[in-house]
Amino acid sequence: MAQYQSVQLPPRLPLTVMTGNRNTSVDKDARLVNCYAEIDKAEVISIFKRPGMELALTPPGAASPGRGVFFWNGNVISIFGDKLYADGLQVATGLDTTIGGTNTPFGGVYSFSSILGATPKIVMHNGIGAYAWDGINPLSASLHTLDPDYPIETVKGWAYLSGAQYVMQPASVIWGSRPNSVTAADSWDPLNFISANDEPDNGVAIVKQLVYVVAMNQWSTEILFAAGNPVGSPLGKVQGSKLDYGCVHADSVQKIDDKTVWLTISRGSSPQIGLLQGLTFNIVSTPAIDRLLRGVDMARIMSWQAKIVGHTFYVITFPLSNLTLVYDIELDHWAQWTDDAGNYVPIIASTFDNARNVILQHESNGTLLKFSIDAFTDVGKAIQVDIITPVFDAQTRRRKQLNRMEFVSDQELGSTLQVRNSDDDYQSWTPWRRVDLGAKRPHLINCGTFNKRAYHFRHRQNLPFRIYAIELQYDIGVL
């Protein structure tokens, strides 16, 4: 074989890959699992192990389904089962525990907001049960009981605007409260409503975006503003802002700074992930992610967010399809995350604490967890990083004799990387080989001959992991 021309450097093996599934399966093609990419100012691309989870708090008696978590007035407020907790102390019981699904989308996870005024309050509802708490006195009775004008059934979400709270009924009717008042007998004026259904679709979720109220319906979205109307609802529609994309499931909606991200759909398309920044809407899911979304069961969805070490992650989970997908907003990059057994990540909601740590709520075991780059396991359970590369041919289908692979990574004593490859389009894999990442120049030799090849790299240890590149030394043969 002729040596690769010395004046040329062989291309590095691609590591920063987008999920590249060719159909609805995640078992083939390129993907990153339990890691994320980062590009520094020198355009150096690195792959990091995702942050781990540490036990933050286990509220006594909370070993029941998680139903939402929120930071308010210096406290981490959480709901497990029918009980409300503030920093792990039970403050109320008897909350609604209805479980919702695709056909009955109300119940389950709660939406939170707050109001100001002489007695600030946190408000919460899951579309059926709606409550308010001032942090001192016992939980207020159901908002339905306090004011019969409060809508009997609402979609998930709140929109706080100019002191008033807004909620929306399934018929896409938005109701507003008096400024800074939700629990008085006259807080919900029976004339303070406006329809948001230019299309004949039902309401799914409501959220605040900057100084606007965003009403998400099944296949359309309408945006309203504080128009100052003296009679009826003070809201008015922002002309020309209607979107021909709706919301598949309210539990997919995450408000992240000046952005809103959710699982969207138009009247004639399949599900996609959309992002609204300001009043500009874009689809952020790739065709490969869209192919995955076509195959998932959407009867139950969990989503959460984490802003950590310069990255903002939108995380969406489809438990019935055993899949967690992660979108890195800053990098515009997708990955897949799992638990230690390779199943979906069992987190149902997220918030932060006084120290600005990201706090996660487990879906079922009653724990609150800290999401931390200093944790290399999930409460002692291994985080398995998998990097599956695209099929690589070095821009030629000639045979290549691979003499040496060198791994450019952090030097970490005791850290090992497992390596295997597939030369038949992911259908079969070679046995694992081990690379010592504690060595000065980690490498493998005698790596065989190939026309095209995909690699699978795995790291599964209670250690940090970062890899920059993989250098290849090979000879080029004939076709």
pLDDT at 93: 95
Please state which CATH class domain 2-17+389-476 belongs to. Answer: mainly beta
For the stretch 64-96, pLDDT in tens is 899 999 999 999 999 999 999 999 999 999 999
Report the CATH fold assignment for 53-379. Methylamine Dehydrogenase; Chain H (2.130.10)
For the stretch 252-281, pLDDT in tens is 999 999 999 999 999 988 999 999 999 999
**In the chain, domain spans:** 2-17+389-476, 53-379
Instruction: Say yes or no to pLDDT of 385 above 60.
Output: yes
For the stretch 436-470, pLDDT in tens is 999 999 999 999 999 999 999 999 999 999 999 99
Instruction: Say yes or no to pLDDT of 222 above 80.
Output: yes
Residue appearing with tokens 């707050």: 114
Higher pLDDT, 61 or 295: 295
Predicted confidence band at 1 (pLDDT cuts at 50, 70, 90)?
Answer: very low
Predicted confidence band at 319 (pLDDT cuts at 50, 70, 90)?
Answer: very high
For the stretch 235-250, pLDDT in tens is 999 998 999 999 999 9
CA distances from 452 to 21, 248, 392 (A): 18, 40, 5
pTM of the model: 0.94
pLDDT at 7: 39
Predicted confidence band at 28 (pLDDT cuts at 50, 70, 90)?
Answer: confident
Length of the chain: 479
For the stretch 34-75, pLDDT in tens is 999 998 877 778 999 999 999 999 998 888 899 999 999 999
With pLDDT > 90 as the criterion, what percentage of the chain qualifies? Answer: 81
With pLDDT > 70 as the criterion, what percentage of the chain qualifies? Answer: 96
Query: In 3D, which of 354, 441, 333 has the Cα closest to residue 32?
Result: 333
